[in-house]
Structure 1
Amino acid sequence: MELSNQKQQLIEEVGVYLEERAGLSPLASRIYALLILSSREGMSFENIVCAMQASKSSVSNNVNVLLQLHYIEYYTKPGDRKRYFRTSDYYLKNTMEQQAHLIEKSLKIIQKVNDFNENNNPNKFEVEKAIGTLYKDLLHDQLTKLNDTLIQFEKLKETSK
């Protein structure tokens, strides 16, 4: 399977991003990027091996990691023994839920720090109060948007059934 230069470059760019953002290995990130940029039908294991130009065992190990993390899923076709891999919708929902959880934790920590500084460092609290408020407002807005998006995501999933 020959990839265009444009697709190879984008796989590399998305792969580097996923390495940093999701903590994936270089090969797992590139496999995931490849599947993100592939059709909804996904790709066979053999096509992934060919596109990644990596050993079958390396691809297999990294595909298994992606499956365990629910980043990808597989399916089979009737009469065909091959497994086909594609991105998982579950991963997108999970990512949004994780982001919402991190924002909630951040808001709790910020509130504890603010409470402490208000009681123990009143001068510092007064100076930094406006900046802290801006940041808390930003996090609240992000949390609201994430929760709204999760609701829309669920509605889309229901209508597509």
Structure 2
Amino acid sequence: MEITKDSKQLIEDIGIRMEERLHISPLASRIYALLTLSASDGLTFEEIRETIEASKSSTSVNVNVLTQLGYITFYTKPGDRKRYFKVAKYYQLESLELYNQSLTREIELVEKINEYNKAQHPEKFALEESVGIITQDYLRKTQSLVQETIQSLSQFRKNEKEL
């Protein structure tokens, strides 16, 4: 697979962000980035290995990790023994659902902290009340946006299944 200098840089940029966001190895991040930018029909193991310029064993380990985590999937073609890897289509939806749950827990915790400080340390609460309110407001707005995105992706998925 021929890859341009610009494509390599974009793979690197996406890879760095995925490494931070998903907490996966640099190689797994670059593989994920490559598959994000590849055609929808996927890439073979060998195409991934050659493009990323990694050893067979390193590529294999990282492709397996990404598959086990559900970030990528694979399929085969009749009469072809090769696997074709691609980004899991609804990984973002599942990720957002987990993030939404995390936000709910964080909102609840901030509310408990605010209630505790109000009851136990009224002088501290009086001085810092706005910080707690700003934090709660931020978390609620973020959660609202996440929930809207989940709805949009869910509707897209439903419409796609009906086709």
Aligned to 1:125: 125
Aligned to 2:12: 12
- Give the AA of the match of 2:136: K
> TM-score, structure 2 length as denominator?
0.94
Q: How does 1:5-44 map to 2 (within 5 A)?
A: 5-44=5-44
User: Quick one: percent identity of the two aligned structures?
Assistant: 42
Give the C-alpha shift of residue 36 in structure 1: 0.6
Give the C-alpha shift of residue 115 in structure 1: 1.0
**Runs of 5+ consecutive residues of structure 2 not aligned to the other structure:** none
> TM-score, structure 1 length as denominator?
0.95
Give the C-alpha shift of residue 21 in structure 1: 1.1
- The CA distance in 2 between the partners of 1:91 and 1:120, in whole Å, is 43
Aligned to 1:110: 110
Give the C-alpha shift of residue 153 in structure 1: 1.0
Q: How does 1:130-145 map to 2 (within 5 A)?
A: 130-145=130-145
- The CA distance in 2 between the partners of 1:45 and 1:123, in whole Å, is 62
Give the C-alpha shift of residue 139 in structure 1: 0.9
- Give the AA of the match of 2:92: L
For residues 92-118 of structure 1, give each alpha carbon's deviation from its aligned partner in whole angstroms, at most 9, with x where no partner exists: 112101211121111111011111100
Which portions of structure 1, spanning 4 or more consecutive aligned residues, are displaced by more than 4 angstroms? Answer: none
For the Cα contact (< 8 Å) 1:70–1:90, is it kept in 2? no
Q: How does 1:66-81 map to 2 (within 5 A)?
A: 66-81=66-81
- Give the AA of the match of 1:47: E
- The CA distance in 2 between the partners of 1:21 and 1:148, in whole Å, is 21
User: What secondary structure does 1:83 align onto?
Assistant: strand
- The CA distance in 2 between the partners of 1:76 and 1:108, in whole Å, is 45
**Runs of 5+ consecutive residues of structure 1 not aligned to the other structure:** none
Aligned length: 161
- The CA distance in 2 between the partners of 1:21 and 1:82, in whole Å, is 30
- Give the AA of the match of 2:88: S
- The CA distance in 2 between the partners of 1:56 and 1:98, in whole Å, is 33
- The CA distance in 2 between the partners of 1:78 and 1:158, in whole Å, is 28
For the Cα contact (< 8 Å) 1:107–1:139, is it kept in 2? yes
